[in-house]
């Protein structure tokens, strides 16, 4: 059988994968925090018709003769360029200007954590800061021994004074500034001995107990695995996540009242769609041409 038949099939499969990725990118053009993907190709193997020969004193060298046997998908990369910011003026809409990710977890008692750039958070009925799937947004506080604790963020009331918080705001370093019903203001903190949330208005004492949003920086963001719901999880090739305060892991700064939108560029996607479509058609034409040649061969004996 003609090798071009199988080369054409491999090309069609590759361009079909490319179209699938492009379709997913376009479908998520307005998804908050979405990171687009791209497909890269490479050739498969080559059949050696003859090897190369080195030049001698009486003759020149000859290059090898090889016939390629198609292409395959080399990688599907996730592109972590920043998306366009969209101003919402909602206090719980957050965006990171930098390389860090927000950290969310399905359970309050720890367990698995996910990374995300989607900062469309809200407060639930208990005053806990959650994402659109109900996952708790992780906060960070440090005990007296310098041990960092990952805790949920609950902006409800001062459990030491039994007074409610009347307003709150999140600053660029991820700290939660709160105002109590008696008019006192300070930072939301947690007494890690009693697990009580309280207002800390001291500029010197218990500063480590101030709660800030947990952020995570990974050495290779492209190695993160997409798990759906605009969430990522660590893999062996992403490297270990450095989770903590955004000031400590140098992940950038947090913008309040802003959302990071998808980094999909429709101009690029439609251009790549044309390339993929024509590539698919060209490979299909290779198959039909090979079929015509085979038909001529079969018709030689009549």
Segment among 61-65, 90-94, 203-207, 265-269 with least mean pLDDT: 203-207
Question: pLDDT (tens digit, 9 = 90+) per residue, 52-104?
Answer: 989 988 989 999 898 888 999 999 999 999 999 999 999 999 999 999 999 99
> Quick one: pLDDT at residue 302?
67
Q: Are 71 and 42 in contact (CB under 8 A)?
A: yes
Taking residues 264-289, report their average pLDDT: 95
- Whether the predicted model's global pTM rises above the 0.75 cut: yes
> Quick one: pLDDT at residue 296?
86
Q: Which residues is 78 bridged to in the sheet?
A: 37
Question: pLDDT (tens digit, 9 = 90+) per residue, 1-39?
Answer: 578 888 999 999 999 999 999 999 999 999 999 999 999
Taking residues 140-161, report their average pLDDT: 90
> Quick one: pLDDT at residue 134?
92
β-strands 231-233, 212-213 pairing: unpaired
Q: Are 179 and 165 in contact (CB under 8 A)?
A: yes
Mean pLDDT of all residues in the chain?
92
Kindly indicate the confidence band of residue 204, based on its pLDDT and cuts at 50, 70 and 90. Answer: low
Distances (CA, A) of 254 to 89, 116, 190, 213: 14, 14, 21, 9
> Quick one: pLDDT at residue 109?
63
Burial of 89 (0-12, 13-18, 19+ CB in 10 A): exposed
């Amino acid at each position: 059988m003609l090798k071009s038949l199988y080369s054409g099939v491999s090309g069609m499969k590759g361009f079909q994968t490319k179209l699938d990725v492009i379709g997913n990118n376009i479908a998520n053009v307005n998804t908050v925090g979405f990171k687009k993907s791209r497909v890269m190709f490479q050739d498969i193997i080559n059949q050696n018709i003859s090897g190369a020969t080195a030049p001698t004193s009486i003759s020149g060298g000859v290059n090898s003769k090889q016939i390629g046997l198609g292409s395959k998908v080399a990688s599907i990369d996730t592109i972590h360029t920043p998306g366009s910011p969209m101003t919402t003026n909602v206090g719980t809409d957050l965006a990171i200007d930098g390389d860090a990710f927000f950290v969310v977890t399905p359970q309050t008692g720890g367990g698995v954590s996910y990374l995300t750039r989607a900062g469309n958070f809200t407060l639930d009925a208990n005053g806990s800061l959650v994402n659109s799937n109900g996952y708790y947004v992780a906060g960070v506080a440090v005990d007296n021994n310098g041990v960092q604790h990952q805790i949920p963020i609950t902006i409800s009331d001062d459990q030491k004074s039994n007074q409610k918080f009347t307003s709150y705001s999140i600053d660029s370093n991820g700290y939660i500034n709160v105002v109590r019903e008696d008019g006192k203001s300070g930072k939301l903190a947690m007494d890690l001995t009693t697990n009580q949330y309280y207002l800390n208005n001291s500029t010197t004492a218990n500063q480590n107990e101030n709660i800030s949003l947990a952020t995570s920086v990974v050495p290779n963001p492209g190695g993160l695995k997409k798990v759906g719901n605009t969430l990522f999880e660590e893999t062996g090739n992403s490297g270990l996540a450095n989770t903590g305060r955004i000031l400590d892991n140098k992940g950038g700064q947090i913008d309040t009242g802003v959302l990071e939108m998808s980094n999909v560029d429709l101009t690029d996607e439609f251009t790549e769609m044309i390339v993929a479509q024509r590539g698919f058609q060209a490979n299909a034409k290779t198959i039909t041409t090979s079929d015509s040649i085979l038909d001529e061969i079969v018709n030689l004996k009549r």
